[in-house]
Chains A and B, each alone.
Chain A
Amino acid sequence: MTQAIVVEGLRKKFGHREVLHGLDFAVEAGTVFGVIGPNGAGKTTTMRCLLDIIRPSAGLVTVLGQNPRRAGTSLRRRIGYLPGELHLENRTTGRRMLEHFAAISGPVDPRHVNDLADRLNLDLDRQTRKLSKGNKQKLGLLQAFMHKPELLVLDEPTSGLDPLVQQVFHAMVREAVAAGATVFLSSHVLSEVQQAADAVAILRDGEIVTVSTVEALRMAAVRQLRFNSTGTNAHDVGALLARVPGVANVAVRELPADGHTTGTVVATATLSGHVKPLVQELARLNLTDLVLEEPDLEEAVLTLYTGGADTESVVGTGTVGSAGSPRRPEGADRA
């Protein structure tokens, strides 16, 4: 079995309202697959279909080689699930809750539970109603991870967690994958997924906009570029930037001579795609300052959310960030 999850033509209707319009995707075993999309895009509905909590209206769902509808309890023992809206009982402690789920989905090594609780810095003997949102989320993660499942289905796993605990979570995901598990997680923000995921599906209004690797998204994403150069003029710098594929939104101005070295040019632009051609061109200049920012994947994804029908092909060629930019200089079109 090389694919942990296969979803083909998945549709889900609630009454007359269809919320999933035929999803197709597959998750390779031993990888981390992220689904991102705004609230209401269908992430939670998709995950609930994998767990047989709700039933597809049409389409085929295969989880660990089995149909969740027919596989029954043995399949769910191999899955760890964190619901998007985690509700815990009030009159219990974390330990009693975990013991109950261990009794159902066990066997669970109690030392493993204590280890995870220590790492997440979670007190299992506190009443659950007194736990903060973050601590409840930790408990939810613990019940998903504790029986070392082959597949983890985690709906917004980092919501409510502080950055330190998020790092622990990412480590837990890496360890699970190293041990052969597959992780399927969702988020409404890419930054939470990009660190963990090998592949990312972008879901919008019940449809998959694209399935892409984080690397490809990074290529598609837009970086802000800013540099100063001396001994040149605005026209030359503009022409130089125009030769670089993926550069857009170029703004170049010469600083007035007084107080500066003559011929100081300040340029800003955006870059999508490969960095190397830009660096090669910039090497010709006498740079006094250079800033190339971390790509804003959020921006790339937002473009996909709102983008037109051609977004899928655009991702492939890595120019999504500049597509349709009105201020795009000539020459950049060669990308």
Chain B
Amino acid sequence: MPKILPLFAKALTDSWRSTLGWAVGLTAACMLYLPLYPSIGGSAQMQDLINALPPEMTKALNYDQIASGPGYTQATMFGLLGFLLMSMASIGWGAAAVAGDEESGLLELTLAHSVTRAQVVLERALAMVVRIAFLSVLVFLVVLGLNGPSQLGIDVGHLTGAVLLFAALALFSGTAALFAGALTGRKMYAVAAGAAVAVLGYVFNAVGRQSPDVEWLLNLSPYHWAYGNSPVANGADWGAVAGLFGISAAFIVLGSLALRQRDVGV
């Protein structure tokens, strides 16, 4: 009996170890950062310290908003360590999905079986979406669990929107890596493309916030599209949610078209 979505099922089962690893990392990041809020973000001493820092630095790190619980969560977890971990996971998966598989010589044998190339890209992209969704839901639950004990005062609706953007932003860099990998067949190019999206997005945001002269950089930053209005504090910009998911979907479709056009394993 032909199974339904065999490549999807395999991609998920093959990656449970790495998914579990990232889950532990993200949970640990939440557990380390968030319980410290009452003693750091909310304290007057910490605020004095932050005021003493150069304003450029606090802006770059989004620390200008850490005086409130949602702002603190936004800046430390979603904006920094969580973003970093999720981007790394997503870019790794995106690069492995086609380019990594091709470079290791495995894709040739898979394609010799009864699958289409579009199917390979789409099913593996779907597996990536599911993994990112799993990690995002996990982060949602952990933050929600710490909300009361850590006196964060986050609105659940805002948190939902923020986690959606958190997922969308990771998916964006992951699908960029997937697309570059499907286009070139080189894992290095795939990782470079995904990392460029994530890192430049972060840098453009950090620099763009420094002065009105370079504010235009913010328009080029997916990071700013997602986090520009501090969604944990203020709720999601639904246009940004739709935009990020839309572009990610486009990357996936383009990736499947790119792989159909070229020789594999050369």
Contact = CB atoms under 8 A, between A and B. Distances in A.
B6 A72 contact: no
Given A103-B2, A103-B3, A106-B2, A53 B112 contact: yes
Contact of B263 (A55, A74, A86): A55
A10 B76 CA distance: 59
Interface stretch (A76-84, A217-225, A238-246, A323-331): A76-84
Contacts of B108: 48, 53, 83, 87
A112 to B, nearest CB: 15
A51 B112 contact: yes
B112 A83 contact: yes
A53 B7 CA distance: 18
Contacts of A74: 114
Contact of A87 (B1, B3, B109): B109
Contact of A81 (B2, B3, B7, B109): B109
Contacts of A48: 108, 263, 265
A76 B114 contact: yes
Interface in B1-46: 1-3, 6-7, 9-10, 14
Contact of A77 (B6, B106, B114, B262): B114
A55 B264 CA distance: 9
Contacts of B14: 89, 91-92
Contacts of A73: 114-116
Contacts of A91: 14
Contacts of A106: 1-2
A87 B112 contact: no
Contacts of A55: 262-263
Nearest to A47: B112
Interface in B82-138: 104-106, 108-116
A217 to B, nearest CB: 30
Contact of A101 (B105, B113, B263, B265): B113
Nearest to A74: B114
Nearest to B3: A103
A96 to B, nearest CB: 9
Contacts of A89: 14, 106
B266 interface: yes
Contacts of B6: 100, 103-104
A178 interface: no
A87 B105 contact: yes
Contacts of B3: 103
14 contacts: A52-B111, A53-B112, A73-B116, A76-B112, A76-B115, A77-B114, A83-B109, A88-B106, A100-B10, A101-B109, A103-B2, A104-B2, A104-B110, A104-B114
Given A81-B113, A83-B108, 8 more contacts: A48-B263, A53-B264, A77-B113, A87-B106, A87-B108, A87-B109, A103-B3, A104-B113
Interface of B: 1-3, 6-7, 9-10, 14, 104-106, 108-116, 262-266
